[in-house]
A and B are shown apart, each in its own frame.
Chain A
């Protein structure tokens, strides 16, 4: 697996091989392989739920609290709905929130972090204070309050509120990265050329921070999964949305665990954990690929021991 030593050739490859390059990076890192595999499964399930589950997730005409049968792979819940269909159809809602919030928070964090670092002066201090204040206010209680005033959090409310409150952590990281770039020569050159500030930020500064931006997307997607599922779990979600969190709310509300309906609670819960793990693994893997110092230490050691007798 680690036999093909990844040399520094990726840079020499033509742009058409970008897919092959990403593919090789994914295969060379075990965390990336597992993370990508998990994420691909969930994307496939969310894209073709009808091909995987026969039942409708909202149809409640079966006998309630059935165990495992061939017709109902995970049994039915207390309302007589097929649990397998609920889990399969619930995938899209969580994935949608994760991807959209991941992209939106990253965009907001990028705009605010980079603008603060690049514009400097009063802009920097005021944006910095805003970021720091948002960073220390506990977000989950705040989201609860917002959802309560919104009378239940629909997908739109979840996406908006998590985006508006969740950008501060990555904005701070992006700002400090952008600060280190500020005095570099290539930016000075752009300034001397007379480029506009917005051009310099978008074309010169942002592309140099790709790895931080990807990390920011993955981190925020993970938080979006956990925050949105938790809000739905405590009953603040939209009851008309089929999603893992709302299924869990039903299970908690009907005391599923105490009544032996273990799958009702565990199946959607484990799905959340697996999807979250996929994003977390990709995040760590991306760090390791981009920053070799973070790679596990024991790997090269073992290789060295093994190669000594053969050499």
Chain B
């Protein structure tokens, strides 16, 4: 319980740090570019204008401290300002459209990468020194050094532009599809998500394999595994029920730490595929100098990562009595 409380406390602290960073960044930068942008908002209501002023620190009558408090109040009430590129839509509206694409893509790709990667890690550690085990580390050395977007571009080149198996951009056929619960639309969505998901799986699977393999090697040396061998249990039971079962928790914690990389991978992959998720939106907001949308998306991504880490932490505490005892 103390462990869970401490992790929650750390989550709140990090959340506060991220919110404050988001508040300070436009004010710290020399020649705040948001000032120029603010002049483009002509038809904004006085209240919406005030929200934007607090967001960027532009010709506000309140002092720095007052701006900070209003900014936190706006965030608490879900008011992230008005988007310039999607005017007059609010930032919250724009984000709520994009978020589902990213959640779907990253969620499915992460589950597949987790299952495949953990499985490969288990087998690789179990057959240490085998062909599979000798291939994986060098392959991981190379994939850890390849930029995420290059993998996506190579997949586009092969599967979309050369062999024409999958479409090369967007989340569905924008001109012919009618979004909704019809079969063609669902098929097209899966078709379009295939290559981005595959890119994300290739970029993230190495971490899963390697952390699982390394913890599994440690657990295989434990006495209870030797005991199981001595009892004459079948190999697959020792591998799954004795060694893998105890090795999987550190893999979960490792996931929390590598989430930042998953996010940066997703941003770059969405950019290559013009996939209309949060990362693509963020880059669109940057190139159209829509700073309110940009900051809203940054906050959303950061909060999502922090919440995921908190969940992984609490799950670890729930599943592993040792962390609870260590408090």
> Which residues of A line the B interface, CB within 8 A?
31, 129, 132-133, 135-142, 144-151, 222, 226, 229-230, 233-236, 248, 252, 257-258, 262, 265-266, 269-270, 272-273, 276-277, 279-281, 284, 296-298, 301
Contacts and interface: CB of A to CB of B under 8 A. Distances in A.
A236 B17 CA distance: 25
Contacts of A141: 263-264, 267, 282, 297-298, 301-302
A280 B264 CA distance: 19
Contacts of A229: 147
Interface string B284-296: 0011010100110
Contact of A233 (B10, B29, B260, B268): B268
B14 A137 contact: yes
Contacts of A279: 145
A153 to B, nearest CB: 11
5 contacts: A31-B141, A142-B21, A269-B147, A273-B146, A277-B145
B154 to A, nearest CB: 8
Interface string B3-35: 000000010011001100100011001001100
B147 A139 contact: no
Sort A-B residue pairs by CB-CB distance and give the 7 closest, nearest first.
A276-B145, A140-B264, A149-B29, A269-B150, A138-B260, A277-B145, A280-B145
A272 B298 contact: no
Nearest to B31: A151
A265 B10 CA distance: 43
Contact of A132 (B10, B282, B294): B10
A244 B144 CA distance: 18
Interface in B261-292: 263-264, 267-268, 271-272, 282-283, 286-287, 289, 291
B14 A133 contact: yes
Interface of B: 10, 13-14, 17-18, 21, 25-26, 29, 32-33, 128-129, 134, 137, 141-142, 144-150, 153-154, 156-157, 161, 168, 257, 259-260, 263-264, 267-268, 271-272, 282-283, 286-287, 289, 291, 294-295, 297-298, 301-302, 305-306, 309
A138 B264 contact: yes
A246 B141 CA distance: 25
Contact of B298 (A145, A147, A273, A276): A145
A262 B157 contact: yes
A138 B153 contact: no
B111 to A, nearest CB: 20
Given A140-B260, A235-B287, A145 B129 contact: no
A280 B142 CA distance: 8
B150 A277 contact: no
A234 B147 contact: no
Given A138-B302, A148-B291, A133 B17 contact: yes
B145 A129 contact: no
A139 B18 CA distance: 11
Contacts of B25: 145-146, 149
Nearest to B310: A136
Given A133-B17, A298-B129, A257 B264 contact: no
A137 B302 contact: yes
A132 B33 CA distance: 31
